[in-house]
Amino acid sequence: MPVLEVENLQKYFPIKKGFFQKTINHVKAVDGVSFHLNAGETLGLVGESGCGKTTVGRSILRLTEPTAGKVLYKGRDLGQMDRETLRKTRTSLQIIFQDPFSSLNPRMNVGEIIAEPMKNFQILSKTETRRKVEDLMTRVGLRPSQMRRYPHEFSGGQRQRIGIARALAVDPDVIICDEAVSALDVSIQAQIINLLKDLQKELNLAYLFIAHDLSVVEYISHRVAVMYLGRIVELAPDQELYKNPLHPYTKALLSAVPIPDPLANTEESIILSGDVPSPVNPPKGCTFHPRCPMAMDKCQTQPLYRQIQPDHWIACHLYP
């Protein structure tokens, strides 16, 4: 059984206007997203900024209440749980944010930051808590002797290590990495990604890795889902998607990834015309059709998101 299942998740943000704050429309940030995540697996979630990928992560954790859809953790629906059960279950689902500095309390030292979730959710003695903090700090490549230091005394990469240690403090099964390495220098990115990979092997963690950098996602992911305007348009195993993308949007995204030797590149970049449409009034039918070089008459109707090969899902009329 997958550790996490997301079924037809929707998140619409109301647009209110006037003295009575009447809802006049909705921003359809997430509009029917479905996928599953297995234990010990990384699913990359990619797309341009504003496509809804961060809202997917926040809706799974109920940091923002979903408008519709289901999120199942080990087969149990988070939406059907009472407050206390949800609070306890949420320890198994943790998040690492893009900006470690703003997500760490500047008035707490590192030991207190890492111990905080344990105090909220686990009954450990002072000595056990301290031992666990020391163990977590060592695991993520920090020295336990740095326990009394404050976040501003650390570099960006070290602060992200603190964020990872805090996420691990309550022994989660699933970690949502929301642009977790995007704010870091390339060499530090590699260190943090390798740390995440090592921890995954050691602890059988499942990651939902949200990012806009396709090279980073390729390196860490087992499967990759591509989002456009609040929907997944293609989902496939990592190598299959990168070597043989099928959806015209995936092809365009991948063709724009810089490669180390541009002279060896025989593929032409696909330049998409126009801007990403507004999620307030998305185009009817396939929402990609105003920009799609392959668009045809039937693209005025919405293509079904379906499996066309084992573990390869797509929403496009080109693949009947």
Residue 317 makes contact with ligand SF4 by CB under 6 A: yes
Residue 248 makes contact with ligand SF4 by CB under 6 A: yes
Kindly state the smallest distance separating residue 249's Cβ from ligand SF4, in Å. Answer: 6
Q: Which of 90, 292, 305, 313 contacts ligand SF4 by CB under 6 A?
A: 292
CB atoms within 10 A of CB 257: 12
Please work out the total of residues on this chain that contact ligand SF4, with binding judged by CB under 6 A. 13
Q: Which of 294, 306, 307, 308 contacts ligand SF4 by CB under 6 A?
A: 294
Q: Which of 4, 43, 137, 299 contacts ligand SF4 by CB under 6 A?
A: 299
d(CA 26, CA 237): 33
Considering beta carbons, is residue 222 or 289 the nearer one to ligand SF4?
Answer: 289
Residue 270 makes contact with ligand SF4 by CB under 6 A: no
Kindly state the smallest distance separating residue 56's Cβ from ligand SF4, in Å. Answer: 20
Q: Which of 47, 57, 66, 303 contacts ligand SF4 by CB under 6 A?
A: 303
Considering beta carbons, is residue 193 or 286 the nearer one to ligand SF4?
Answer: 286
How long a stretch of residues is the chain?
Answer: 320
**Rule CB under 6 A: which residues touch ligand SF4?**
247-248, 286, 288-289, 292, 294-295, 299, 303, 316-318
